[in-house]
Amino acid sequence: MTRAFIRPQDLAFVLREYRPAARLVRIDRLTGASKKGVYRLGLDDGSTVILYAWSAAENYWPAADDPADDPFSDATGPDLLAAASSALAAAGIRTPQIYGWDTSRTVVAADLALVEDVRGGSLEDLLSADPAAAARPLSLLGDALRAMAGRHAARYGKAAFVASAHSEQASRPEDVVLTRALRHLGLASERSGPLADVRDDVAELLTGRHRVIIPRAQYALVHGELGPDHVLLTQEREPVIIDIEGLTYFDVEWEHAFLRIRFKPAHLAAMCLGPRDEDRVAFYVLAQRISLIEGPLRIAATDYPDRDWMLALADYQLGRVLAELSMRA
């Protein structure tokens, strides 16, 4: 498809609501986003602000055939951003301040939100450049995660919808994850010969881990994809959580599983995370690794600009899945 991104001349009306006297002097489209456009706007007084833009042109992901009860279906848009920001603020957790949004699409064919520009770098960069200096941010992030784990709901689902939903749910969360993971395994096997060769073995490992899960019906607030790249830092190196639109009530082990994939054991120890069911964590780690093969292979088949990075991610996760199979043998 032909992608039409935001242009400087499109933004005067957005800034008019935020800072009537401000003049836009610079616009930089930031890299890494795949579902929404992220732009840093430089103003004539030297300040900056971030613009989020949600549109078909900014979303590189092909449509996924997610079932109705999948709490991890594509999460995008300013309504989910606002609901997630409110839910996290209620838990005392810092996210970028939202200055305003526009969903009229009268000037730009996108839903827009202006948010705070947090300029202290990312936790990922700090862990790479100065691991010792990351001790305090990791500890504070652990505080935030324990606060999220303390926010409970009797239903699972996106935070934007759980409060207003009262019907009973037909599926247990671990059953939803099993169905999802087996679907991802089938789709990924169509694109990966090495995975296709062991598809039945992976499915057996997955179902075996699912089989020992003890049912439970209390869910915590989870980010779901909280890697160190999704944690920005203030100038005082306090963590600010971003990419929050998918905030969901689910098993806390879903969060622990992704953290285990993205952080080193020493980083996890510094966070002092709370209790978890290790059987659920092991099951969810495998399910997430399969998703991290299927998703990157799917987006790599599009015009996504960093295709090689996605292929490398899928290849790395495939290696980890094969390693889990070898340990079982």
Give the whole-angstrom CA distance, residue 234 versus residue 106.
34
Domains of the chain by residue range: 8-115, 123-328
Predicted confidence at residue 56, as pLDDT, reads 86
Give the whole-angstrom CA distance, residue 3 versus residue 6.
10
Whose tokens are 């510094």? That residue is: 270
H/E element, 199: helix 199-211
Report whether 291 contacts 70 (CB < 8 A).
no
Two structure tokens written together for 299:
């987006």
Among left, alpha and beta (phi > 0; psi -120 to 50; other), residue 237 is: left
Give the whole-angstrom CA distance, residue 41 versus residue 21.
15
Two structure tokens written together for 161:
């919808």
Phi, psi of 61 (to 5 degrees): -80, 130
Predicted confidence at residue 94, as pLDDT, reads 97
Predicted confidence at residue 118, as pLDDT, reads 96
Structure-derived torsion over alpha carbons of residues 38, 44, 46, 52, reported in degrees to the nearest 10: -10
Q: Which amino acid is at 242?
A: I
Superfamily per CATH, domain 123-328: Aminoglycoside phosphotransferase (APH), C-terminal lobe (3.90.1200.10)
* Helical H segments across 233-277, by residue range: 252-262, 265-271
Residue 110: Cβ within 10 Å count: 22
Across-strand partners of 14?
A: none
Phi, psi of 229 (to 5 degrees): -75, -15
Q: What is the pTM of this model?
A: 0.92
Report whether 261 contacts 292 (CB < 8 A).
yes
Predicted confidence at residue 8, as pLDDT, reads 67
Mean pLDDT by 10 residues, the chain (329 residues): 68 73 86 87 92 89 72 81 94 94 83 93 97 97 97 89 65 93 97 97 98 92 96 97 94 97 96 94 98 96 92 97 88
- Crossing angle (nearest 10°) for helices 278-300 and 173-191: 40
> DSSP readout, 216-244?
---EEEE-S---GGGEEE-TT--EEE---
Predicted confidence at residue 9, as pLDDT, reads 66
Q: What is the chain's alpha carbon radius of gyration, rounded to the nearest angstrom?
A: 20
Q: How far apart are the first and last CA of the chain?
A: 46
Report whether 84 contacts 145 (CB < 8 A).
no
Predicted confidence at residue 167, as pLDDT, reads 52
Give CATH for domain 8-115.
Answer: 3.30.200.20
